[in-house]
Homo-oligomer: A and B are copies of this chain.
Amino acid sequence: MFLIMARAATTSDPFNAVAEPRRRQILTFLAVGERQVGEIVAAIGLDQPSVSKHLGVLREVGLVHVRRNGRHRMYRTNAEAIRPLHEWTGSFERHWRHQLNRIKERAEEQMRSRSAAGLNASKEKP
C-alpha cells in the first residue's frame, strides 16, 4: 500500500494530533465544557473551515466528542484520550526527579566546599 512513510498521519494517533499547537488550544478551550464551532472560531481566531478541519482530526483520534444540537454541533474534549500521553510522559518522571536530585546535590556540595575553602571570609557579603 505505502511505499515510503513521509510522516505519520495526524489522524493516526493522539501524539500526532496534539503536535499541532492550534489543536492543543482547541482541546484546552473545550476542556471546561461543551462549545459550538462558532465559539471556537471566535476564541481561537482562525477561520471556520480550518477549525472544522482541526476538529475533524481531533474527532478521528477520539480526542473530542460531538453532539448535534439543532444546526449547532456541540464539541467537548474527551480527556480520557489524553491520558495515554500523560502516562507515557509520566514514565520519565522518576528520571527527571533523579536528574534534579543530582543537580541539587552538586549544588550543595559546591556550597560546602566553598564555605570550607573561604571559611567565614564569605559571610553575608562578597
Residue ranges of A at the interface with B (Cβ–Cβ < 8 Å): 7-8, 15-16, 18-21, 24, 27-28, 31, 77-80, 82-83, 85-86, 88-93, 95-96, 98-100
Chain B nearest CB, measured from A47 CB (Å): 13
A91 to B83, CA, bound (A): 10
Q: Are B24 and A88 in contact (CB under 8 A)?
A: yes
Chain A interface mostly helix, strand, loop or mixed?
helix
Q: In angstroms, how far is the closest chain B Cβ from the Cβ of A79?
A: 4
Complex CA gap A99/B78 in Å reads 9
Can you name the residue of chain B whose Cβ is closest to the Cβ of A90? B86
Q: How far is the CA of A7 from the CA of B92 in the complex (A)?
A: 27
